[in-house]
Chains A and B, each alone.
Chain A
């Protein structure tokens, strides 16, 4: 039980990576709360608390902080994506993507920093897309680069008391990935080819990210601070140009 007696808040635990982290934290003995914009999901484990919160709203996050109390672990996972270029992106797209992915992380860090106990760990979910661009994901890519920059700032400013790191997932089997493939002319061909581009020959699972979150949350990671940890099956270690796939 690597997280026994620790209190954790995971934003965006309804599904995907957030839900995977909730399950892993519970398994490791943590007391876990999660939040999302809608009602409590029916399949959320009873042991996990749920708050209806839009992280893009400073008021709602402040309210959540008041209700939560002291924490050891904050995971800023909640995120949305809009598949557009800069030219096609609307003001509403900006509000949505930057509101949740950028301002939401800021809101939660600001509200929960005073509530984090000494030795606490903030884990932000960045993305490989914050390092290298996914096509037609302009605001998403930029919002994740914001997360990376904020991660380093918090690590530097609040280092003595808390640690702050980011995990940069690659392609993880979630609804977001399926949404990408449904845009393809031949979704199955696209999926097969995408798999071949991964040196490990599979996509990631939420559990792959959750295991890194457990480590970063635990005291074993006591010297890890201010870093971006990429978990992508080797995808971004290889050139985007592989003549065998052209």
Chain B
């Protein structure tokens, strides 16, 4: 038994996405049984220990029946990772009500629904861990990402609230707040209108973005999966109610004066 979460059960929403898929693979490699829940199928064939299931986390009846099915299959759920998220690159003026509601439906309501329906199964184990996805954008704003910033601020507050309410039941709740991580979402940001790229090549823009980071690089999905793994494992048994910023030092800085 060498796996750090050997024998644990885990469900990862957004499991087919850039970060979610890295988490699913890492969990399986460390001995867990993993459900990759997503509205789309992963691009790669799932490794042993990972099973994809279609799930729209914003649909209450779908979430309810997904956990009812899981309850019939598993004695308990040990780890819930709420990694599903979307971003809309607009100011509030350009954001339609439909877009705003969709952002909240996935990023906030989705986290609420999966956590709510997972709780009975999370209580049955010997200590459980919920890992939500906040963002450094929940603390400081990126321009032209208003709804996204607001949803992540909501996830941060929800994380603390859930930690308070369910800590006594042996359930730890934390949020990871990534900065720039190399995912399809980031590539979309680089090429989108919100990036202010000013017609430069994407390569030049990416290098410039790396240079602003104290570590001179942006993160990979595996960097995030490493922290998720720790928070999911028993090594983190005293960690709860916290927001874990993982951004290569980006937000430790004041905006840079060009010298």
Interfacial residues, chain A to chain B (CB-CB below 8 A): 128-129, 132-135, 180-181, 183-185, 189-190, 193-194, 197, 235-246
Take A135-B253, A193-B258 as given contacts and tell me if A241 and B212 are in contact as well, using a CB distance cutoff of 8 Å: yes
23 example contacts (A-B, Cβ-Cβ < 8 A) are as follows A128-B254, A132-B252, A132-B254, A133-B253, A134-B253, A134-B254, A181-B257, A183-B259, A236-B254, A238-B140, A238-B255, A239-B136, A239-B137, A239-B251, A241-B212, A242-B143, A242-B196, A242-B255, A243-B196, A243-B197, A243-B205, A244-B195, A244-B198
Q: Enumerate chain B residues within 8 angstroms of A134, measured Cβ to Cβ.
A: 253-254
| Distance (whole angstroms) from the CB of B188 to the closest CB of chain A | 13
Other-chain contact of B212, A181, A185, A236, A240 (Cβ < 8 Å): A240
A246 to B250: give the CA distance in the assembly, Å.
14
Take A194-B257, A237-B141, A238-B143 as given contacts and tell me if A243 and B208 are in contact as well, using a CB distance cutoff of 8 Å: yes
A128 to B252: give the CA distance in the assembly, Å.
11
B48 sits at the interface (CB 8 A) = no
Find out whether the CB atom of B141 lies under 8 angstroms from the CB atom of A238.
yes
Q: Enumerate chain B residues within 8 angstroms of A184, measured Cβ to Cβ.
A: 257-259
Other-chain contact of B195, A133, A183, A237, A243 (Cβ < 8 Å): A243
Q: Chain B, 152-180, contact with A by CB distance < 8 Å: what is the 0/1 string?
A: 00000000000000000000000000011
Q: Chain B, 200-222, contact with A by CB distance < 8 Å: what is the 0/1 string?
A: 00000100110111000000000
A70 to B250: give the CA distance in the assembly, Å.
46
| Distance (whole angstroms) from the CB of A162 to the closest CB of chain B | 31
Find out whether the CB atom of B212 lies under 8 angstroms from the CB atom of A246.
yes
Q: Enumerate chain B residues within 8 angstroms of A235, measured Cβ to Cβ.
A: 254-255
B99 sits at the interface (CB 8 A) = no
Q: Enumerate chain A residues within 8 angstroms of B253, measured Cβ to Cβ.
A: 132-135, 240
A96 to B255: give the CA distance in the assembly, Å.
26
Question: Considering only CB atoms, which chain B residue lies closest to A194 in the complex?
Answer: B257
Other-chain contact of A243, B137, B209, B250, B257 (Cβ < 8 Å): B209
A242 to B180: give the CA distance in the assembly, Å.
12
Take A133-B253, A246-B208 as given contacts and tell me if A239 and B259 are in contact as well, using a CB distance cutoff of 8 Å: no
| Distance (whole angstroms) from the CB of A73 to the closest CB of chain B | 29
Interfacial residues, chain B to chain A (CB-CB below 8 A): 136-137, 140-143, 179-180, 190, 195-198, 205, 208-209, 211-213, 250-259
Q: Enumerate chain B residues within 8 angstroms of A181, measured Cβ to Cβ.
A: 257
A239 to B205: give the CA distance in the assembly, Å.
16
Most buried by A among B142, B143, B257: B257
Q: Enumerate chain A residues within 8 angstroms of B250, measured Cβ to Cβ.
A: 239-241
Find out whether the CB atom of A133 lies under 8 angstroms from the CB atom of B254.
yes
Take A239-B137, A243-B190 as given contacts and tell me if A190 and B254 are in contact as well, using a CB distance cutoff of 8 Å: no
Q: Enumerate chain B residues within 8 angstroms of A132, measured Cβ to Cβ.
A: 251-254
Question: Considering only CB atoms, which chain B residue lies closest to A238 in the complex?
Answer: B141
A38 to B56: give the CA distance in the assembly, Å.
70
Q: Enumerate chain A residues within 8 angstroms of B251, measured Cβ to Cβ.
A: 132, 239-240
Q: Enumerate chain A residues within 8 angstroms of B137, measured Cβ to Cβ.
A: 239
Most buried by A among B136, B212, B255, B258: B255
A244 to B198: give the CA distance in the assembly, Å.
7
Other-chain contact of A239, B142, B211, B257 (Cβ < 8 Å): B142
A239 to B254: give the CA distance in the assembly, Å.
9
Most buried by A among B190, B251, B253: B253
Q: Enumerate chain A residues within 8 angstroms of B213, measured Cβ to Cβ.
A: 241
Find out whether the CB atom of A189 lies under 8 angstroms from the CB atom of B258.
yes
Find out whether the CB atom of B256 lies under 8 angstroms from the CB atom of A240.
yes
Take A243-B197, A246-B208 as given contacts and tell me if A236 and B140 are in contact as well, using a CB distance cutoff of 8 Å: yes
A135 to B256: give the CA distance in the assembly, Å.
8
A132 to B257: give the CA distance in the assembly, Å.
14
A244 to B205: give the CA distance in the assembly, Å.
9
Take A246-B209, A246-B211, A246-B212 as given contacts and tell me if A240 and B255 are in contact as well, using a CB distance cutoff of 8 Å: yes
| Distance (whole angstroms) from the CB of A96 to the closest CB of chain B | 22
Q: Enumerate chain A residues within 8 angstroms of B195, measured Cβ to Cβ.
A: 243-244
Q: Enumerate chain A residues within 8 angstroms of B255, measured Cβ to Cβ.
A: 194, 197, 235-236, 238, 240, 242
Most buried by A among B211, B212, B254, B259: B254
A238 to B252: give the CA distance in the assembly, Å.
12
A240 to B198: give the CA distance in the assembly, Å.
18
Find out whether the CB atom of A241 lies under 8 angstroms from the CB atom of B209.
yes
Other-chain contact of A180, B141, B198, B257 (Cβ < 8 Å): B257
A205 to B253: give the CA distance in the assembly, Å.
22
Q: Enumerate chain A residues within 8 angstroms of B211, measured Cβ to Cβ.
A: 246
A190 to B252: give the CA distance in the assembly, Å.
21
| Distance (whole angstroms) from the CB of A50 to the closest CB of chain B | 33
